[in-house]
Structure 1
């Protein structure tokens, strides 16, 4: 199953209100509950309200709540047997853009529980979101015939990867423009033809395949057709491959500092970072050079739940989990000791 935020990327003007949906995809397995905590940057955006309308859940052990001071949204939701199977909305979060910046939305430890009578956590994939907040004057990009200016509110940085596969392109038309031609393909050097598509100032595309794409725009005025301007976008909607965690305690179940091994790959944008959570500690970030092995800190005897997330450059996430048991050392047993001991007169000796 997967949890995801929609839209995955978008641009907004300071002062705008906008909505973000948290969705779930059960991947063919009925579910009856889910819980998560979503983090957002409270200095850039603030929550106005949370709506449970149209939610797949009807029971709320923990009603959706938010804190604009901590930048957190959390809930626990559920529904009776036979549960829900498919793709649906969990909650809708209404935000306001406060100031210019990049707003990254991420998840803390999350669960999606199967309707199997056992409460099995079947969550595997998580998809966060990335929103760009601009000052109003930076959205409008004036055009000239020879070099039109393109802006993509869904993919505003040509050098970054996005999980949004429904791109939008927009541009301004000066009063002398009488023709607009555009092409969208994977060739960086395509020249748009001289057949006008009409006096359009935007174009949307739906559900494009992953990869690097180019939007080519050309404008016509009284003097003829100008040069073609090219705009690149990079799309990756798929998470990294599933993987396993291998625990190496050097054959000693009492080893308080075992090594962990894990690694995966991502075909399109590549792995950006790993996150790991051991027991009740918070997630910590790991660069690629910090794994294989990853030595744990010194751990007391006990059972620890380990969660590792692999995050690609488009912020798609795959997570895996395992359990680590550290046994206590055996209690020492003393077999030989002196029945009488005089301090300072003899050596104290015990054996066991």
Structure 2
């Protein structure tokens, strides 16, 4: 699904997309494509040997405009290359809608295709003048050339490609689809043994910092999940990036999840935990203590005490009333003999 983030609200990135309005504006009031942007792979050309590990970076150049949504489809020759991981740690994209985790690497290698998409709140307008670094990174895909390839292999030249289905949208409030210039990466595989250095593995081993602390929010909206309760959550990781999330409701098992997440327990009477795991395996857990459960725990005893007090007051009042009547009766009996004597 392709989309643009231009109708978006907080908290915790509770965002919605109005696809029909986007296309109505695009086709009726705007040209099909407007302005331009570039998606490129780095390095443009390179040579690798058997056993080598290397990274290919996907970069965005808005070419004078501001971009708020990026959707990338990437293909690679999966008969000679293996994806080891994808690094989103330094990405300019902060809200991911589709982001493959390490749990999906096997499937990615089977089909030879990677897809990811997300948004940049406020838009990305290019590198800031004077910035020494390249701040236009979307992601880095880490590849491995197996040292043992079935069949005899000579020198091969292949391409890692950004597919034509990739899209970027301008940050103009209209969801304008920008014309894309694509630059692929041409790689040459030599039938020789390489050094086998694995920078990606080293980066994972050196990453001991867990994802940033975050909060869980419970929400309910008639337009989402048929009006049922769901939770939203989001965090970042400064090193290798958040890999995936897991949710645990009460005593249930942990489940891999994405935000927004429909709650199994709609009674809201259990503790909820969300675990953010980065690509090095570091974890941060956020816990939501159900307010409804707390209210029940506090209210029930109060009701019991209140009823007890009411019973005691009623009993005491009744006894007091009986005592008053009895005393009145005795007082009346004492007065009657005196009246008779006077008569």
TM-score after normalising by structure 2: 0.38
Bigger helix share: 2
Tell me which structure has the larger Cα radius of gyration: 2
Bigger strand share: 1
TM-score after normalising by structure 1: 0.37
